Amino acid sequence: MVAFYTVVQYVPDPLADERINIGILTYGDGHVRSHFLQNWARVKQFGETDTKSLQRFAREIGSLATSNQLSLVALGQSLTEDNLRHMMRNWHNGLQFTPQRVSTLSPDALMNQIQKLVLREPGQRQRKRKEYRDDAAAVTLVRQAVRTVLTELVGSDAKKYLRRSATVEGRLFPHKFAVAFGNGVLCGAADGLSFESPTTDDRQRDIDALLTAVSDVREKWPKLPLATVIFPPKSRTRVYNNTVTALERHDVTLFGNQDEAQRWAKEAAAPLLTA
């Protein structure tokens, strides 16, 4: 006997194609089994949005065990394996399914094995708490600040103007920034960098990539508001000081907290009100 599985993924911005695993479906003996996250905190932070619709989807999938009905997914039809495969082929927006994969395990054994590998529950494993904020924390801060300001300025239209993991054209090459925003015309772009985390070769490459990006973008966009959330080290280092100097030389606004980030974003986004 063979069984199959697919991973259910949340993709908040299909253009950025960033995704997070939220559930697993296994099947192969005529019955579909499901397992979804119990704690949605990571998903909420990842998508910077409410997760109620995702949790409703998970509950309706889970209700198959008793009701065998799934109005959200199959429009009132029972969820057969054929219906599931149809969903996997045709869903391409916020909820997506990985291609079907096969296993020689039974569907139940496969579920027990796979869920431990692909679903991360906060608190599932006791991990040593980080003693520092990393680049991801800096990026999250600036994205949340920009999103908050845009929502205050334009309400529900904020999503139309905001781009996560945005590509900004430089004079020579395109470059990735954590966030950019505009309405036809680019209003601003920002990134995040932490010097609280340990220094590694990868760390230096990240610094070099950011400096290259702002230098090239500044050549093409002399007046474009650029900013970086930057978390300083406990003790100032030469690398940190040189990075700050280089960013400021390219007229990049630096800040280290939410309030400062929102003040910058509000000023940079002001043209949206007159567009």
In the chain, what are the domains? Answer: 3-118 (no CATH), 135-273 (3.40.1350)
Please give the biggest Cα pair distance in the chain: 65
Q: What is the mean pLDDT of residues 61-90?
A: 59
Mean pLDDT value of segment 189-200:
86
pLDDT tens-digit map of 20-33: 999 998 888 888 88
How far from the centroid of its chain's Cα atoms is residue 122's Cα? 17
How far apart are the C-alpha atoms of 106 and 40, rounded to whole Å?
A: 28
- Is the pLDDT score of 74 beyond 70? no
Q: Is residue 149 very low, low, confident or very high in pLDDT (cuts 50, 70, 90)?
A: very high
pLDDT grade for 275, boundaries at 50, 70 and 90: low
Residue 62 has pLDDT above 90, yes or no: no
pTM above 0.75, yes or no: no
Position 76 scores a pLDDT of: 45
Helix 201-220 with 238-249: angle, nearest 10 deg: 10
* pLDDT attached to residue 113: 86
> Do the beta carbons of residue 13 and residue 164 sit within 8 Å?
yes
**Rounded mean pLDDT, 230-250:** 93
pLDDT of residue 21: 92
